[in-house]
Chains A and B, each alone.
Chain A
Amino acid sequence: MTSDSDQTIRERWVASPSPAGGGTTRAGDPASSVDEVDLTPVRTYWELVRMRFRRHRPAVISVFVLAILVIYAVIVPLTTGEGYKDPNIRKVWDPAEIVITFDPFTVEAFAPLGYDEIGQNVFVRLAKATQTSLVIGVAAVLIIAGIGSFIGAIAGFLGGRVDNLLMRLVDIVLSLPVLFIILMIVSFFGTGDVSVVIIAIGITGWTLAARLIRGEFLTLRETDFVMAARALGVHSRRIITRHMLPSALSPLIVASALGVADSVVAEAGLSFLGFGISPPEASLGNMLNNAQTYFIRAPILIVWPGLVLILIVLSVSFIGDGLRDALDPRQKIESGS
């Protein structure tokens, strides 16, 4: 997947070596024609990042998909408030309905996805569930990336005994059955609490990030530019944060993208088992769990939360992929001139 997309990017560049980019210096520009052979147009870093990201078609599409989901997950709960919890005995199992009234966003008026077994508006409930899942995914990944890069960076930079110790810690965490640990934490500290779920997922999921960052740091530590920075009297802390972490950004982004996807899935699994977010609160997991009960009566109820789950996981992964390629300044955008 990764090398494939790299390959296509390069091929595209060879095919169309002059991308349309604003604010570039063209060859023959009087300023650069004096005694220089190099007519590389000077673009800023972020211009380059944007250009490289745009080359990654699935990532661009994913941005739109995710944007729509985010807007949906923000706007709908905002306008309906607690409406996602409201049962309506008269609407049970009602199919899709869109009643255009003067106030189109009232719960009764707008239900393109119909109503569930207790008359809750599925469209509104799904929005809230998407919101919950996204919040959990992003918050958990912040914990994952934070712990992961901290432990990975220290292990990789210091090496030796510290490295050994920290990596054995990673092994220990990895060897634990993650789902049971999360279940234990959640059932101990309170089922249904979003922050408990976030922390439980976060503190069990950082191992991959730590390993990737550590591996990258081990390589980076030996590079000449880190040695040069040391020879020029740069502080170790600064070398780690300013010289090594940015170079280790690619694995961190990959780990984070996977982390978001994993966290969303973990939450869904947890709620599906009844340990995560429980009704009347909405999450993709408990919607799926609920839909499973009424699978024969209304199979479509499984489709909506399932679809959103798949869309989140896929688009986050693609965006991570595209970002990793785009943020890497070493990746050349020009076809060798």
Chain B
Amino acid sequence: MSGDPVGNDILLSVRDLRTAFDTMDGTVKAVDGVSFAIRRGETLGVVGESGCGKSVTALSILRLIERPGRIVGGSVDFGGRDLLAMSESEIRDVRGNRIAMIFQEPMTSLNPVYTCGRQIAETVQAHRSVSRAEAWEKAVEMLDLVGIPDAGRRAKQFPHQMSGGMRQRVMIAMALSTDPDLLIADEPTTALDVTIQAQIFELIARLREERRMAMLLITHDLGVIAEMADDVVVMYAGQVVEQGDVRSVMTDPHHPYTRGLLASIPRIGERRHRLEVIPGVVPNPLNLPAGCLFRRRCPYAMEICETPPHLTDLGGGRSSRCWLDAEGRAPEVTLPEAAHG
């Protein structure tokens, strides 16, 4: 499919990942042949509408897919080993140790019956041979690092005694306590209010910089991608429809879906009567249209779109799954203004 991005210091390489869910009405291909790669220290953003397979992709990488879901095929190469082929105990050592994950819901992702410090200490103890006291010390140190004031005292508190932003900081502290090579952040700020969101992203960006950690950032917010990511993968209905470096994707989107996403961002200082929207909804995964999955919502739909397009390499690490690009004739259309200067 798409060639490996330039640079050979690749940390994680996902190839043709396929994850399906067996439902009563049939099999849903939640992730259908997704490929991408993350270099050491780089941030890859995954963007798309709800239900397009972003989270399932992340969970599949760590093999956290549970019945009725199953990983059907593909490979996830991490540091020279295929995570999908590992034994249960090997993958357990990767989880939380080399690849850590933070979830959407800080309110419920912490165990309510243990103190925050103890939960961090548990993660440390699960992967490092340290004493209880050392693990606790590490927990307090991590809480301090993520900007929780009076960390020693806070460590002894239960999650319900903290605010949402605090809890997400605790989750970050927990994820980073083992110094992972890759952090998977699955919409880490969706449940938080806007000012806290900014703080959390600032924190993540700072820690990532300090520790030269790679990150897989899942979000539906293109603004966040523009701010945080180096490269971006745009997903639609379980497939990658466009990928490339953030700047060029944002300024020169190729796939009509990416264009639609960019056009639907409201901008300050611009008079518009209505916000642009992409008409229609993501197709029912049980009943996907033949051909291009975006065809029914696409303003440029053509006859050829009834044949499924393939991911076309556009050079410079960019690719797009659209016949417009495959045919080598980008249409004359007014592109939305650059979202990112």
Q: Which of B103-111, B243-251, B266-274 contacts A (4 or more CB under 8 A)?
A: B103-111
**Across the interface, do A228 and B110 meet the contact criterion of CB distance under 8 Å?**
yes
Q: Which of B94-102, B304-312, B328-336 contacts A (4 or more CB under 8 A)?
A: B94-102
Would you list which residues of chain A between 219 and 273 have a CB under 8 Å from chain B? Answer: 223-225, 227-235, 238, 242-243, 246-247, 249
* A32 and B93 alpha carbons, distance in the complex (Å): 39
Does any Cβ of B come within 8 Å of A174's Cβ?
no
A234-B101 contact, Cβ under 8 Å, with A34-B149, A229-B111, A246-B113: no
Q: Which residues of A contact B123 (CB under 8 A)?
A: 232-234
* A238 and B67 alpha carbons, distance in the complex (Å): 21
**Across the interface, do A225 and B112 meet the contact criterion of CB distance under 8 Å?**
yes
Which of B105, B114, B160, B174 is A224 in contact with, Cβ under 8 Å? B105
Would you list which residues of chain B between 230 and 250 have a CB under 8 Å from chain A? Answer: none
**Across the interface, do B160 and A233 meet the contact criterion of CB distance under 8 Å?**
no
* A44 and B161 alpha carbons, distance in the complex (Å): 12
Q: Which residues of B contact A230 (CB under 8 A)?
A: 64, 95
Q: Residues of A with Cβ closer than 8 Å to B?
A: 32, 34-36, 38, 40, 42, 44-45, 159-160, 223-225, 227-235, 238, 242-243, 246-247, 249, 329-330, 332
**Across the interface, do A40 and B161 meet the contact criterion of CB distance under 8 Å?**
yes
**Across the interface, do A233 and B67 meet the contact criterion of CB distance under 8 Å?**
no
Q: Which residues of B contact A232 (CB under 8 A)?
A: 95-96, 100-101, 123, 126, 174-175
A227-B103 contact, Cβ under 8 Å, with A42-B157, A329-B158: yes
Question: Would you call the interface of chain A mostly helix, strand, loop, or mixed?
Answer: loop
Would you list which residues of chain B between 109 and 123 have a CB under 8 Å from chain A? Answer: 109-115, 122-123
A sample of 25 inter-chain contacts (CB < 8 A) reads A38-B163, A40-B161, A42-B153, A44-B156, A224-B109, A225-B108, A225-B109, A225-B111, A227-B103, A228-B101, A228-B103, A228-B109, A228-B110, A228-B171, A231-B95, A233-B96, A233-B97, A234-B96, A234-B122, A235-B126, A242-B122, A243-B111, A247-B112, A249-B113, A330-B160
Question: Would you call the interface of chain B mostly helix, strand, loop, or mixed?
Answer: loop
What's the nearest-Cβ distance from chain A to residue B192, in Å?
Answer: 15
What's the nearest-Cβ distance from chain A to residue B319, in Å?
Answer: 29
**Across the interface, do B103 and A224 meet the contact criterion of CB distance under 8 Å?**
yes
What's the nearest-Cβ distance from chain B to residue A222, in Å?
Answer: 9
Question: Chain B, 264-298, contact with A by CB distance < 8 Å: what is the 0/1 string?
Answer: 00000000000000000000000000000000000
Which of A36, A42, A235, A332 is B92 in contact with, Cβ under 8 Å? A235
**Additional pairs, 16, CB under 8 Å, beyond known A228-B103, A234-B123:** A32-B150, A36-B150, A45-B115, A228-B109, A230-B64, A231-B96, A233-B92, A233-B96, A233-B97, A234-B92, A238-B126, A242-B122, A243-B113, A249-B113, A329-B112, A330-B160
Q: Which residues of A contact B149 (CB under 8 A)?
A: 34-36
Name A330's closest neighbour in chain B (CB-CB).
Answer: B112
What's the nearest-Cβ distance from chain B to residue A75, in Å?
Answer: 38
Q: Which residues of B contact A247 (CB under 8 A)?
A: 111-113
**Across the interface, do B160 and A332 meet the contact criterion of CB distance under 8 Å?**
yes
**Across the interface, do B110 and A225 meet the contact criterion of CB distance under 8 Å?**
yes
Q: Which residues of A contact B150 (CB under 8 A)?
A: 32, 34, 36
* A216 and B92 alpha carbons, distance in the complex (Å): 25
Does any Cβ of A come within 8 Å of B62's Cβ?
yes
* A42 and B151 alpha carbons, distance in the complex (Å): 13
* A259 and B237 alpha carbons, distance in the complex (Å): 52
The 10 closest A-B pairs by CB, nearest first: A232-B96, A233-B96, A233-B95, A224-B108, A231-B101, A224-B109, A225-B111, A228-B109, A246-B113, A232-B123
A227-B95 contact, Cβ under 8 Å, with A234-B123, A234-B126: no
Q: Which residues of B contact A160 (CB under 8 A)?
A: 67
**Across the interface, do B160 and A223 meet the contact criterion of CB distance under 8 Å?**
no
Q: Which residues of B contact A332 (CB under 8 A)?
A: 160
